[in-house]
Amino acid sequence: MTPQDLEIQNLTKKFDAFTAVDDVSFSVPAGSFFSILGPSGCGKTTIMRMVAGFIDPTSGDIRIKGRSVLDTPPNKRPVNMVFQHLALFPMMNIAENIGYGLRRKGVAKDEITRKVGEVLERIGLPDIGQRKVDELSGGQKQRVAIARCMVLEPDVLLLDEPLGALDLKLREHMKVELKTLQAAFDTTFVYITHDQSEALVMSDQIAVMNHGRFEQVGTGQELYYRPQSAFVAGFVGDSNRWRGKVTRAKAGQLQIITEAGLTMTGNNHRRDLSVGDAADIYVRPEAIRISRSADDLAQFENKMSGTVASLLFNGAASRLILKTESGEEIEVTLPQSGEFAGVGRGDTLHFGWSGEQANSFAASEDFTQVYQ
């Protein structure tokens, strides 16, 4: 097996009694975009700082291109980091900023000038070498911060929520641009964020992290459609959630009666739930189909009707809150195909979803947790 660009083995970091990172292992293949997604305080920054070399792990190993780097100080590791607030050197101009690492390596002066010119060209800002840091826009700074690392041709580039400080529009734009830059430089990116959309859009692989552990590692689709834990289901995307009891379990199908008395059917997705178990059931608003007539929903295992309690208009992401006869509130996505243009408060609608789209887990405390 060829060595991976970055391999983390049983990495643990304890601060006194607190375990920030708890026995985490993963590997990142060359040239891929790997994200660690988790709420603040989950330990993702600690992992990144251990990889960069600013913190020593309590136990475990970090390998880059097959070689352990535990004994290598940060300034000698073949990894570079783009900091949350970019950490450009305000006392230097752009060319000096980018050339800093090369100067440290003892590269000849004209070679530095050439390489800096090249990398500025690649990030599409060829003429800003003599400018000062505070003369650049947020997006330009972002690109310079990446160029400053990439000019050193690191094996792995670490990015610590670099988009956090940007405004929404620019952030959307930079997501695409980062992905493009990663492809252009063909370097392994390890990206940490608490923003699921950043992770979903850019990453080849995403690790969802909580309380120092990885909950699930997979592609964006896997996390979204097949969350393996209640935490992932709750953290990635939105979900309607119910708590209930399993009343029937047969051939991969579960029947659950919620606390409010609704009966739901769902696929167990090979999770071990049997009759009598307490279970949490997660259904995404966008997995629920609405209709004016009950007939359209014949193919779904779960069918209900309710009145529109409120309309949350948000363009493409508009939602309806429907109230069932038993008083349960359910959030569903409002399709923008024109069919429901006239829907308003008090209208009665039918809705349903397939058991395949529901995810059921053994009841856990993550049920009540609200993130973001």
Partner 1 sequence: MRAGSKLGFILLFTPLVLWLGLLIIIPHIDMFLISIRERIGVGKYDTSLANYLTFFGEPLYMLTFARTALMSVLATALTLVIGFPVAFYIAKIAKGRLQSALFLLCLVPFWVSELVRTFGWMILLRETGVFSNLLQWVGLADQPVEMLYNDVAMMVGLVYTSMLFMVVPLITTMESLDDSVIEAGYDLGGNGMSVMREIVIPHAMPGIVSGSIVVFMLSLGNYLTPTMLGGKDSLWFTELIYSQFIVRFNWELGAAFGFMLLLLSSIIVWGTLKLSGQTLEKTMG
Residues that bind partner 1 (CB under 8 A): 52-54, 73-76, 80-81, 83-85, 87-92, 100-101, 104-105, 148-149, 152
Cα separations (Å) of 97 from 141, 232, 281, 325? 11, 39, 52, 64
- Three-state DSSP class for 128? coil
- Considering the complex, what minimum distance in angstroms separates the CB of residue 84 from partner 1? 7
Question: Which residues contact residue 293 at a Cβ distance below 8 angstroms, ignoring those fewer than 6 apart?
Answer: 350
- Considering the complex, what minimum distance in angstroms separates the CB of residue 243 from partner 1? 42
- Considering the complex, what minimum distance in angstroms separates the CB of residue 301 from partner 1? 52
DSSP states along 268-282: -TT----TT-EEEEE
Cα separations (Å) of 85 from 270, 333, 352? 43, 36, 45
* CB closer to partner 1 out of 4 and 80: 80
Q: Residue 115 carries which side chain, given as an amino acid letter?
A: K
Strands 359-362 and 329-333: unpaired
* CB closer to partner 1 out of 52 and 199: 52
19, β-bridge pairs: 14
- Considering the complex, what minimum distance in angstroms separates the CB of residue 44 from partner 1? 16
Evaluate whether 311 touches 318 at the Cβ level (below 8 Å): yes
Question: Which residues contact residue 277 at a Cβ distance below 8 angstroms, ignoring those fewer than 6 apart?
Answer: 245, 246, 362, 363
* CB closer to partner 1 out of 53 and 234: 53
* CB closer to partner 1 out of 161 and 177: 161
Evaluate whether 192 touches 35 at the Cβ level (below 8 Å): yes
- Considering the complex, what minimum distance in angstroms separates the CB of residue 121 from partner 1? 20
* CB closer to partner 1 out of 50 and 334: 50
Q: Residue 79 and residue 328: Cα distance in Å, rounded?
A: 51
- Considering the complex, what minimum distance in angstroms separates the CB of residue 93 from partner 1? 12
Strands 33-37 and 205-210: parallel
* CB closer to partner 1 out of 50 and 262: 50
* CB closer to partner 1 out of 84 and 305: 84
* CB closer to partner 1 out of 85 and 109: 85
Q: Which residue has the tokens 């359910």?
A: 330
Evaluate whether 237 touches 372 at the Cβ level (below 8 Å): no
- Considering the complex, what minimum distance in angstroms separates the CB of residue 166 from partner 1? 17
- Considering the complex, what minimum distance in angstroms separates the CB of residue 180 from partner 1? 23
